[in-house]
Structure formats: structure tokens, C-alpha cells
Amino acid sequence: DIQLTQSPSFLSTSVGDRVTITCRASQGISNYLAWYQLKPGKAPKLLIYLASTLQGGVPSRFSGSGSGTEFTLTISSLQPEDFATYCCQHLNTNQYTFGQGTKLEIK
């Protein structure tokens, strides 16, 4: 099975900061990657799919890039509502896998 490894696991950051989260796949997955935002007690939210396509309604401060084995999620200017956990996902209908998550904390 393909493994996804995110870095960092935790990030202490401030409103207005530019944030970059990395997701590395154990083997090439082309651009079959999605990013989600997770908040406690809420339904996860799809942000990006196919590595760089922004889901409708998601603010443009979120962007994704990468292909093959290395991917990044960037938040250009962190807003208070962005403090959450972010998770990548390999899009494979036979075996979806998720990264372990990156938690953004207020500095």
C-alpha cells in the first residue's frame, strides 16, 4: 500500500503567516491527491483535489502543488478560522490512504 507522510506534524504559527505543509508519497501517485481541513466536532472539508484544483467555495488563499511523490498545501495568509488539522489523501478507489495530519496551532 502507498504510504503518505506529512510534515511537519505540528506547526505553531500566527495570523497572517504564510504556511506550507508537505505530503510525501511512498511511490509515485501522479496528481491523485486531495487535501482536507479537519476541525473537532465538524465534518471534514475538502479543500483541493488532483493536487492543485481548488474545490468550489474554498478561499483562494489555499493552493496546492506537486506531482509524483511530493506535494504541498500552501495557505498564503493564515486567517483565524484556518487553525485546524490538515490531511492529505491518495485518491485511489481500490485503497484510499491518508496522511497522519498536520495541526496548525496559534503561536
**Chain residues in the site for another protein (CB under 8 A):** 32, 34, 36, 38, 41-46, 49-50, 55, 87, 89, 91, 93-101
**Residues 16, 76: Cα–Cα separation, whole Å:** 8
CB of 93 to another protein, least distance (A): 5
**Residues 37, 76: Cα–Cα separation, whole Å:** 15
The smaller minimum CB distance to another protein, of residues 34 and 73, is found at: 34
Q: Are 98 and 89 in contact (CB under 8 A)?
A: yes
CB of 21 to another protein, least distance (A): 14
C-alpha cell at 82: 484556518
CB of 38 to another protein, least distance (A): 8
